[in-house]
Amino acid sequence: MQAGLALDTAAGLRKGGDSGPAVVPGDPAASLLLERIAEPDLARSMPPKKRLPPEVVAEFTEWVRRGAPDRRQDSVDGWTAPDEAARRAHWAFQSPREPNLPEVARGGWPRGDIDRFVLAALEQRGLAPVADADPRSLRRRVAFDLTGLPPSAAALEAFIANPSREEFARVVDRLLDSPRFGEKWARHWLDVARYAESTGKTVNFAYPQA
């Protein structure tokens, strides 16, 4: 937030900052946001140093003319901040601090610091960790987890023949480098973004909320 302006809620957009409302629904001429994005002086324009294309400015203008419809609620992911101090107190804006390692009963089980936190949470619930997966199961699990696909028979047998921690690290690196890794995890992002551009090769029409 600068100059009292916060754009992360619908109410903040309409309220504006120290200079007045950023957007006045239905009145492009009174909307300071439009004034700034159309500002010829790059030192004062939004965004700075690079002017938006005219067609984008026209789209913003038309949006305001139509009443600046905004599907957002006056909160951010369900969290409402009453003032600037409360916003800055949100966990996302805190500097990371190294936590103390929790005490655990099975001190020989953790292989690293993260394991101690996992084990502590299990023990708080009266649960115990299961035994390590056998090489075949481990190789299949990591492939499905990272790429959504099973390993080839040759890759599976090669790992079974050498199931060392070093080889497992190399397997993980290869899976992370695979295009299939990007495709699998991009799908989750596209689901969240509601991506869609076509219904198939026979019919195409716009998805207004995608």
Q: At 207, is the pLDDT very low, low, confident or very high (cuts 50, 70, 90)?
A: low
Looking at the predicted structure, is the pLDDT value of residue 123 above 70? yes
Contact 3, 18 (CB under 8 A): yes
From CA 154, how far away is CA 179, in angstroms rounded? 19
Q: CA 128, 131, 134 angle in degrees (round to 5)? A: 160
Tokens of 96: 């990371």
Q: Identify residue 144 by its one-letter amino acid code.
A: F
Contact 210, 195 (CB under 8 A): yes
> Which range is most confident: 28-37, 46-55, 75-84?
28-37
Tell me whether the omega of the peptide bond preceding residue 163 falls within 30 degrees of 0, making it cis.
no
Higher-pLDDT residue of 161 and 74 is: 161
Residue 64's Cβ-count burial label (10 Å; 0-12, 13-18, 19+) is: buried
From CA 155, how far away is CA 175, in angstroms rounded? 11
**pLDDT tens by residue, 105-115:** 999 999 999 99
Q: Which pLDDT belongs to residue 81?
A: 47
Q: Which pLDDT belongs to residue 206?
A: 62
Q: Which pLDDT belongs to residue 187?
A: 86
Q: Which pLDDT belongs to residue 79?
A: 45
In the beta sheet, which residues pair with residue 76?
Answer: 79
Looking at the predicted structure, is the pLDDT value of residue 92 above 60? yes
**pLDDT tens by residue, 2-26:** 577 777 777 777 888 888 888 888 9
Q: At 183, is the pLDDT very low, low, confident or very high (cuts 50, 70, 90)?
A: very high
Percent of the chain's residues with pLDDT above 70: 81
Residues 70-89 have a mean pLDDT of 61
Looking at the predicted structure, is the pLDDT value of residue 37 above 70? yes
